[in-house]
Every structure is written in structure tokens, then in C-alpha cells.
Amino acid sequence: MKRIRKTLFATCALALWLAVPQARAGVAFTNLVFFTYTNAPNYGWNNIIYLGHTSALVEGNDGSFYGTTVAGGTVYESNSSPPTYGFGTLFKVSPAGGFTSLHSFGSVDGDGRGPEGNLTKGLDGNIYGTTDGGGSLPFVGQGTIFKVSTGGTLTTLYSFGHDMAGDPDLNNVYTNSDGGTPIAGIIQGRDGNFYGTTKGGGARDGGTVFQFKPDGTLITLFTFPYYSDASYVTNGNGPLSELAEGDDGAFYGTTFWGGANGAGTIFRITSGGTLTTLASFEARDGYPNAPLVNGGAGVFYGLTQNSVFKVTADGRLTILHSFGGGDGLSPSALILGSDGKLYGTTSGGGAHWPGTTGGTVFQMTTNGVFNSLYSFGGPDGSEPQSALVQAKDGSFYGTTSYGGPQWIASGGTQEPFPGFGTIFRIAIPPSLQSITQTNGIVNLTLSVMPGQTYQLEYSTNLTSLGWLSLGSPTIASSPTVSATDDIGSDPQRYYRVALVSP
């Protein structure tokens, strides 16, 4: 195993014991993959996202991460206007960065196109996802639900857009019975069924919430109203994000438009299709475009186009943080880490803003204490538009839509180019929080990400290059861990903690 961070240390001497928390050093950031669009070997590019978010990686049972890009791949249509350079890809990547392209969408009849939503790992170990276009229905192309086996084989399970018809009451807007354009992924409920949303379509062309059974049956649970419908100001329309299952067995989600202020809503829906609008957003902190995160005890967290919010199951909405530029702009997605903190990405802003608006990775406590972890600058990636995924080793993995070695900044002698995007890993180093002494026994308290492997080390002299291991490498099982050391006759000891690489 390789120790990748030893910059944090705390000191203690018999005359003076250090017992104050130590600040964490910078995160350990690693680029694993640079996408190459329509060229081998790393097919893919997330270059055409206008609403919603790109797909987050998901960790499979084999230890690899599976993901999609909404564009790129091996399919090329020169007769389209403009020419189409790929309908997206499915890939897997190892924690060390070994990349395998599994599928180029649009390469077989009936295939989906444009996989944009999050993937999910099913109870059977297979990976499930959606595309926002394509499918097997002739002249429809309203999207699909697909499955990826553990061997990497993709199977289309369902095609959206049944019973398409122009509705004269809606200026001939096309409606259907099952919705269309599912730019969000699906999740599997505790009942074994899958649940998801479509951005449009349905009986009133405002989008839908649906249930998809493992046997391939799709049931539309709720259809959102069109803009001209009176219930638009109550129920909203245009759900862009995945649902989140609550502790009560119901599902919670958002709409991007509509509601009392036209800036979106938060809703609760049962597996039987009963929908209740919990809250409507104000315009200045509205337009939610990322899935809610279940924080437990009836509390959910989420993102709008400029803020992080908290909402209770009974609809009490609180804005926890509003972005201003240097801390990020346009938040993309949010997850709950194993340490109980929130982690997210922004597709703009950051430490290089306003010169380069490359986006950020951030951390936030559930009561709103905000901490920027990393700012992208271009060659290392730019504009992360997907959620992070936390692996079993405690590290976070994610993607950027732009940047990488092809990135060329504007203002130089060369034509600027955004780059094709990256896959990256971020590890948050452990830190010593307190050191105390009792009868020659040193008690150490550490803050560590659960799942991380760490190594405590000590030295009797900072001028010496020799650091000795205190115990063996340990996998953290909780955010706070303790250790003891019998210092014997040593007049002083210095301690530090090293993060052992995955």
C-alpha cells in the first residue's frame, strides 16, 4: 500500500500537550481518465447538457465504477444537420483509472440516445439507467430504460412515447400515455420496483412520475399539468431529477417550473400515485435541478440553480447557502458522505473565478457550515455537472464535462477549446483533533472518513527523518477514532497521521 499524504501532524512534549483540533491539509486530487470524444480509447463527452445534470458514477459489485456520457462514441451521422458526433457512451473505470468503453448508444436498432440521468445499482447487482432520446418506437424517440449486466451487456427494457398524439386543447402539443424525455435516472425502492420521472409528455405534457416493475411493466403514477392548466401553480411541471425514497416509504422529488412562484416545487408521492406539493420556491433561490438527498429523521437536502436548501417532510424549507462566485456557481448535485456531511459540485465559479470559471467540489455540514475543497482550472478538468460517488475506500469519484489536456484558455495565441472532460478522484485526508496525556499514556483523537485506511506515526525528534508506525494501517469505521500510545521514558513525542492510498 502507498501512503499518499503525510503533511498533517500534531506535536506534543511532556511540558506542553497540544489539545486543539488541527486543520486539514488540501485534498488529495487525482485525474484518472481524460475523455477523447469520438476517438479511441476513452470515448465520450458530456458537452450538451442544458437542464438537469450528467450521470454520476456508480460503484458495481466488481469494484469498478460505471458511468455514461451524453455524447461521443463510435456512432457518426454525417447526413444529419448539423452532423452528429455520437449519441453517448457507457463505460466502466477501475479505481486506478483503467478505462473500458462498453457501449456506444445508437449503434443498434431500438437503442436509446443521450444517457443523461444517474445510474443506479439494482438489488440484483445489475446497473440500470435511462436515455432521454431514442428507443424502439418508430418516429417517436422519447427515451428508454436500460439494464447493464455485470458482464457489461446492455439491454433496452422499455421505450417511452406510447400513444403519441397532438392535443388540440394544448395547441397540438404532443401528449402520450407514459411520458417522454427521462433526463433523470431511476431508483429502486425498498419494494423492489423502480421509480423515476420524465421531463415532458404524459396526458398533459408536463412530465410524469412512473413506476417500472422488474417484469417490464410501466405504470404512470402522476402526470404534471401543462403551463396553461390551473393546477400548474399548485403542482408545477417539468421534473428534471431523480426521486429520493423517504423513511416513510414515499418518494420525494422536485419540479423545475411551476408552483406558486413559477420557480419549481418540492413534492411527495406515494407508490400508489398520491402526490402532495410540500413547498414552492421563490424565484431568487429556485429552479431545482438535482435530486434530493435523504438526511434521515424526515429531512431532505437539495440544490437549486444558486443555493443549497433543507426541507422537512412537512414542507418547511430553509436556504442553507447561496453561492456567490468564489465559492462556486451553478451547483450540480449533492450527496451525503459517510461522515454525515454533504458533498457537492458546482459547474461554475471557484478560486479562479472570474478569470476561469471551472467549477468546484465543496463540503458542507447539515447546518450550513460551508467549505470549498477544490477548484478546477482547465487542464485538470472543468465544469463538473454530476454528483460525486463515495467508494468503499472513503474516496470520492466524479466527472467533469470539460477540461483536460485538450483544454486551451481564451485570450492566448491559440483558438480556445474546452476539452472533452475527465474522471477524477478526491481523498480527504485524516486529521488529529486532540492529544492528551494520562499517567504517561497519550490519548489521540482523529477525524477520519469512514472507509479510509490510515496510519498513525510518531517520532521523538523532528530533526530526524525517521518516523515510526504506531500500530498497523487501520480502516476507519466511524468519523471519529481514538488511539493510545505508551510513551515510556521518551521526553517528547511528535505524531502525524498518513492516508494510505486506495
| Residue 408 near residue 433, CB atoms below 8 Å | no
Q: Higher-confidence residue: 200 or 49?
A: 200
Task: Please state, in angstroms and rounded to a whole number, the distance separating the CA atoms of residues 51 and 199.
Answer: 10
Whether residue 1 has pLDDT greater than 90: no
| Measured distance between the N- and C-terminal CA atoms of the chain, rounded to whole angstroms | 8
**Number of separate helices (H) and strands (E) present in the chain:** 1, 44
Contacts of 62 (CB under 8 A, 6+ apart): 150
Whether residue 20 has pLDDT greater than 60: no
12-21, 139-148, 365-374: range with highest mean pLDDT: 365-374
What is the mean pLDDT of the segment spanning 335-347?
A: 96
Task: Please state, in angstroms and rounded to a whole number, the distance separating the CA atoms of residues 448 and 445.
Answer: 10
Question: What single DSSP character describes residue 179?
Answer: -
- Matching residue, cell 406539493: 277
**pLDDT of res. 491:** 80
Please name each of the domains of the chain with its CATH number.
3-24+432-500 (2.60.40), 165-289 (2.120.10.30)
**pLDDT of res. 112:** 94
Amino acid letter for position 71: A
